[in-house]
Amino acid sequence: MTLQESGEMYLETILVLSEKKNAVRSIDICEEMGFSKPSISRAIHLLEDGGYLVIDNNGYITLTELGREIAEKIYERHKVLTKLFTWIGVAEDIASEDACRIEHVISDTTFEAIKGHMRKYGSA
């Protein structure tokens, strides 16, 4: 299963929520992302079928190793790109929105170059 941008967004959201609270359920994702319960439920089950997360009998969602790896990669990109954009003078809310769009399509090569540049010039 090739993960689309929306799947990456769900995994990233689950990761962020799991850092804030002990257990993540579908309703938490609904509230965070502003999507309907049926949309979230469908996406979560597709991600479960793909091996990116597991859902226990109480409805608690946990990322698998694969799901966590992807979520951490996307979340790192989000944080670094947001920091870069604010560093060059973009308002934080716009920087975060732009980072959210770019984090899914930027190549590993370009992202690593950005991180290297930020480390070299003191912003990373």
Domain ranges of the chain: 5-69, 74-120
* The domain defined by 74-120 carries CATH number 1.10.60: yes
Which residues neighbour 48 within 8 Å (Cβ) at sequence distance 6 or greater?
A: 54, 55
Quick one: pLDDT at residue 124? 54
Between helices 26-33 and 37-49, what is the axis angle to 10°? 120
Quick one: pLDDT at residue 121? 86
Of 104, 2, 103, 9, give the one whose Cα is nearest residue 51. Answer: 2
- How high does pLDDT run on average in the chain? 92
Give the residue-averaged pLDDT of 117-123: 83
**How many angstroms separate the first and last alpha carbons of the chain?**
33
Quick one: pLDDT at residue 48? 95
Phi, psi (5° rounding) for residue 53? -155, 165
Give the residue-averaged pLDDT of 93-112: 94
Name the percent of the chain in helix, strand, coil, to the closest 5: 70, 5, 25
Give the residue-averaged pLDDT of 14-29: 93
Give the residue-averaged pLDDT of 12-21: 94
Angle at 97 between CA 123 and CA 60, to 5 degrees: 100
For residue 95, pLDDT beyond 60: yes
Q: Name residue, tokens 């790109």.
A: 81
Quick one: pLDDT at residue 123? 63
Give CA torsion, residues 68, 69, 73, 76, to 10 deg: 50
Q: What is the pTM of this model?
A: 0.86
* The domain defined by 5-69 carries CATH number 1.10.1660.10: no
